[in-house]
């Protein structure tokens, strides 16, 4: 079915109300404008070579570190002593009679470091090579920490950058120092390098053509994102999907899911066995999902507030009209959760009864401890990125994906290089990895708003963020909340998400699940290995800090999904007959719609 002319008129008027006032361009640009354009063009050209990383940020961080280290003779003496001791230990361990006795007797890899997990790394001389590398890594970490007077952020940048270089030259990344590669070479007569070259050529062809590698090609609508439903609403930024019920009755309160717009929505609707959408529908809920448009350069002036109004608020308005008098269980994942928090706090001023509960999945509302992503979020770096986006109109998806890969370079970059090109193997097909390769672009204005207002200034948590021209406070969140964090989250660290306890004025059920940012959220009950801790804290209860909470919170085996369904049922009314699709049974397209297919 097609959208009516009246709907189109409404959408156009919404866009006009959100757009900035039109300004007539002067016939000739002023001198200041020309100078500004010249500077921005130069920065954008440099950014092409640096991947969007500001050279000034790195230079200032390392200059700060180096100068303070020069002024710290005691620290330098301590580092020299550590280096000498490590050298003596390595020398003693190199004696043949000792080298084969006690693997990892000098230093062990960290629990999350799986590079040296193979049995062959227990053997000499490879165990000694690995320990030498780990001791060097430990020494460089010591060199960038606890330097008196060094700015903490600059110390973190120096430590992170040096770690990236060390990860690149790790002995696992070279054929002659990796026993697993050597064993594979002997077993195959060198065929692994032939297969590795073929894999490299295939990957380069995929990069040039813009297609995903064959090992990552899960097709949306065929392999993933297959839950049946209809697109019931569309505007210039979102499609709203309503999923087909599979139970004879449903809870009267619908569930609205707001995914992050940095990626495609189907992380929450992967294969049927891993689909959170299918799980909710099977448990008797009417589920709506926002599917974001993939912006182009023509969308450069879309702001964060457009995403709030044309995204979350537009979806809530449609559901309220299609299902009147039914309050909504609103769910936000990652950036979608942050945006939902903004929208919910804004709506609480005038429409307090439109939401029944709010669920946040790996979503931050305070950005003062937002993990390693904040390392390069300073005035120099943000201005540099703004100039790159000013030139292009967007932040390209490859740059966003690269930034996230750097946070886990061992797992997401170097381990794949070794497997694909040195061992000549292919990683097993993964629906999550396929989804991760399906990133979206970021509009210039929106990304600038996000980095400056949320990351740099922390306006949301500190009551300065403006919605409809008025500051909002997260203390306006008074509906029951279900907040999920993951233990090994590099993007939204759990201690950062824990701050919702003193930001919101709500009863908070807080869940800490095992796993990472994606795998900890996609936790189907039938899949083994899941566990979580959970407590419910009343709004008026005394505050308990995260370090104490993790010691006291009860642990449970299994998926947190079941815990969440119990929460939603407790906040819902008695089952009713499933509602019709959209308004008066009218819909636009079959799920998954058009926007998710945009490349």
The per-residue DSSP string of 511-556 comes to: EEESS-TTTTT---TTSTT-EEEEEEE-TTSPP--HHHHHHHSPEE
Q: Can you tell me the mean pLDDT for 462-481? A: 94
How far apart (Å, rounded) are the C-alpha atoms in residues 598 and 582? 23
pTM: 0.87
The reported pLDDT for the residue numbered 401 is 60
Is residue 1, in this structure, part of any structural domain at all? no
Average pLDDT in the 259-263 region?
A: 92
**In the structure, what pLDDT confidence band is assigned to residue 191 with cuts at 50, 70 and 90?**
very high
Q: Which two tokens stand for residue 14?
A: 């919404």
Q: What angle do CA 18, 581, 313 make, to 5 degrees?
A: 20
Percentage with pLDDT > 70 across the chain: 90
DSSP three-state, residue 354: coil
Mean pLDDT of 99-120: 83
Domain that holds residue 271: 229-368+458-597
DSSP reduced 3-state for 459: coil
End-to-end CA distance of the chain: 24
Q: What is the pLDDT of residue 380?
A: 84
3-class secondary structure per residue, 278-331: HHHHHCCCCEEEEEECCCCHHHCCCCHHHHHHHHHHHHHHHHHHHCCCCCEEEE
Among 188-192, 401-405, 500-504, where is mean pLDDT lowest?
Answer: 401-405
Q: DSSP characters for 84-125?
A: HHHHHHHHHHTSHHHHTT-TTSS----TT--TT-SGGGGSTT
Q: Is residue 450 part of a domain?
A: no
Structure confidence by residue, pLDDT tens digits, 140-150:
999 999 999 99
The predicted model gives 173-189 an average pLDDT of: 95
Q: What residues are labeled active site?
A: 334
Which pLDDT belongs to residue 12?
45
Q: How many CB atoms lie within 10 A of CB 523?
A: 24
In this predicted structure, what is the pLDDT of residue 381? Answer: 84
pLDDT at residue number 213: 62
CB 527 within 8 A of CB 559: yes
On whether residue 301 sits in a domain, the answer given is yes
* Res 352 pLDDT > 90: no
- How does DSSP classify residue 453? I
* DSSP 8-state secondary structure symbol assigned to residue 333: E
CA dihedral 219, 221, 226, 229 (to 10 degrees): 160
Pairing of strands 481-486, 508-513: parallel
Mean pLDDT of the chain, nearest integer:
89
- Contact predicate 288/311, CB 8 Å: no
Which pLDDT value is given to residue 578? 96
The arithmetic mean of pLDDT across residues 315-340, rounded, is: 96
- Give the model's pLDDT for residue 6: 40
Q: Is residue 569 in some structural domain?
A: yes
DSSP code of residue 512: E
Has residue 233 been placed in a domain? yes
Q: pLDDT tier at 427 (50, 70, 90 boundaries)?
A: confident
Q: Do residues 125 and 103 lie in contact, with contact meaning Cβ atoms separated by under 8 Å?
A: no
How sure is the predictor about 474, in pLDDT bands with cuts at 50, 70 and 90?
very high
In a domain, 42, yes or no: no
Structure tokens at 382: 């943000």
Q: What is the CATH number of the domain that holds 258?
A: 3.40.50.1820
Return the higher-pLDDT residue of 55 and 473. 473
Does a structural domain hold residue 408?
Answer: no
Q: Looking at the 3D structure of the chain, how many domains does it have?
A: 1
Q: What is the pLDDT of residue 16?
A: 42
């Amino acid at each position: 079915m097609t959208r009516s002319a009246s709907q189109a008129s409404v959408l156009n008027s919404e866009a006009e109300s959100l757009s900035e006032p039109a300004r007539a361009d002067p016939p000739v640009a002023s001198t200041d404008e020309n100078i500004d354009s010249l500077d921005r063009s130069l920065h954008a050209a440099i950014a092409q070579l640096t991947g969007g990383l500001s050279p000034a940020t790195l230079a200032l961080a390392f200059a700060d570190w180096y100068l303070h280290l020069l002024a710290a003779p005691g620290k330098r003496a301590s580092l020299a002593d550590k280096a000498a001791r490590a050298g003596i230990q390595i020398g003693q361990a190199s004696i043949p009679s000792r080298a084969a006795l006690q693997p990892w007797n000098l230093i062990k890899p960290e629990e999350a470091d799986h590079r040296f997990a193979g049995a062959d790394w227990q053997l000499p001389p490879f165990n000694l090579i690995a320990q030498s590398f780990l001791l060097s890594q430990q020494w460089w970490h010591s060199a960038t920490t606890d330097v008196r007077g060094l700015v903490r952020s600059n110390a973190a940048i120096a430590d992170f950058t040096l770690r990236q270089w060390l990860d690149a030259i790790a002995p696992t990344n070279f054929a002659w120092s990796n026993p697993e590669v050597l064993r594979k070479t002997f077993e195959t007569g060198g065929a692994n390098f032939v297969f590795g070259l073929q894999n490299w050529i295939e990957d380069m062809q995929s990069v040039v053509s813009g297609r995903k590698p064959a090992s990552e090609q899960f097709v949306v609508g065929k392999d993933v994102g297959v839950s049946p439903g209809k697109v019931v609403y569309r505007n210039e930024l979102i499609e709203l999907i309503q999923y087909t019920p599979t139970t004879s009755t449903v809870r009267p309160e619908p569930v609205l899911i707001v995914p992050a717009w940095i990626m495609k929505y189907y992380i929450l609707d992967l294969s049927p066995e891993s689909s959170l959408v299918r799980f909710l529908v099977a448990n008797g809920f009417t589920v709506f999902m926002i599917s974001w448009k993939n912006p182009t350069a023509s969308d450069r002036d879309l702001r964060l507030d457009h995403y709030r109004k044309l995204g979350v608020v537009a979806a809530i308005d449609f559901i309220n009209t299609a299902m009147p008098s039914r309050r909504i269980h609103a769910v936000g994942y990652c950036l979608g959760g942050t945006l939902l928090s903004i929208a919910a706090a804004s709506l609480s001023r005038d429409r307090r009864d439109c939401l029944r509960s709010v669920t946040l999945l790996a979503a931050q509302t305070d950005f003062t401890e937002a993990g390693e992503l904040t390392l390069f979020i300073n005035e120099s770096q943000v201005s540099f990125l703004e100039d790159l986006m000013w030139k292009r109109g967007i932040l390209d998806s490859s740059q966003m994906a690269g930034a996230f890969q750097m946070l886990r370079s061992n797992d997401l970059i170097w381990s794949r290089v070794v497997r694909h090109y040195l061992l000549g193997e292919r990683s097993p097909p993964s629906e999550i990895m396929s989804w991760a390769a399906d990133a979206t672009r970021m509009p210039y204005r929106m990304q600038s708003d996000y980095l400056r207002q949320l990351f740099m200034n922390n306006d949301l948590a500190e009551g300065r963020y403006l919605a409809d021209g008025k500051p909002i406070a997260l203390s306006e969140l008074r509906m029951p909340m279900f907040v999920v964090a993951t233990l090994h989250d590099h993007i939204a660290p759990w201690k950062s998400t824990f701050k919702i306890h003193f930001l919101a004025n709500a009863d908070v059920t807080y869940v800490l699940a095992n796993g990472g940012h994606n795998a900890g959220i996609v936790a189907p009950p039938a899949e083994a290995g899941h566990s979580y801790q959970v407590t419910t804290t009343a709004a008026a209860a005394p505050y308990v800090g995260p370090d104490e909470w993790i010691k006291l919170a009860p642990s449970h085996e299994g998926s947190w999904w079941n815990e969440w369904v119990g929460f939603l049922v407790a906040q819902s009314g008695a089952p009713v007959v499933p509602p019709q699709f959209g308004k008066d049974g009218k819909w636009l397209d079959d799920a998954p719609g058009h926007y998710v297919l945009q490349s």
